[in-house]
Amino acid sequence: MKRIALTSALVVSLLGSALSAQAIVPTTFNSTITIGSAVPLYHGKVRSRLQSECEPDRRVILYKKVPGFDPRVGRASTDQAGRWKITPGGLKSGQAFYALVRQQRLSNGINCSPATSRVVKFVGE
């Protein structure tokens, strides 16, 4: 009798765990990132349909576009409105840059997708 009760309790416990795990269904929201240059500052905005979760506090990385491996030249976090700005050093006219925002997975099952900006060229001061 005890064995049946223990087995029943275990089945109910496992079933409850499975149902609670299914309650949080991951949902992915697309993100976009813009880039602009106001010499010598690079700036832009991360946008998403789910603004309150996918725009603030996102990690943005600025890369220099070169043949082969693109080196990272700066990074920043977005503010509450999704805005970011980075001032890289040693800029030369004709250099090309782009920004990348990484994927963000939140504990509530929301996934904010990664995004890459267009490439912009540094024109010079």
- For 37-71, write each residue's pLDDT tens digit: 876 689 999 999 888 888 899 999 999 999 999 99
Q: In terms of Cα–Cα distance, which of 2, 119, 112, 108 is closest to 55?
A: 112
Residue 18: predicted pLDDT: 45
In DSSP notation, 69-111 reads S--EEEEEE--TTSEEEE--SS--TT-EEEEEE--EE-TTSEE
Query: Is the separation of the CB atoms in 100 and 60 below 8 Å?
Result: yes
The CA-based angle 50-51-53, given to 5 degrees, is 75
Predicted pLDDT at 1: 54
CA separation for the pair 110, 96 (Å, rounded) = 33
pLDDT for res 94: 84
- Domains belonging to the chain, first-starting first, are 27-121 (2.60.40.10)
pLDDT of amino acid 73: 93
Identify whether the C-beta of residue 104 lies closer than 8 Å to the C-beta of residue 98.
no
Q: For residue 55, what is the DSSP state? A: S
Share of the chain above pLDDT 70, in %: 78
Determine the straight-line distance between the first and last CA of the chain, rounded to whole angstroms: 85
Q: What is this structure's pTM?
A: 0.75
Predicted local distance difference test score (pLDDT) of residue 19: 44
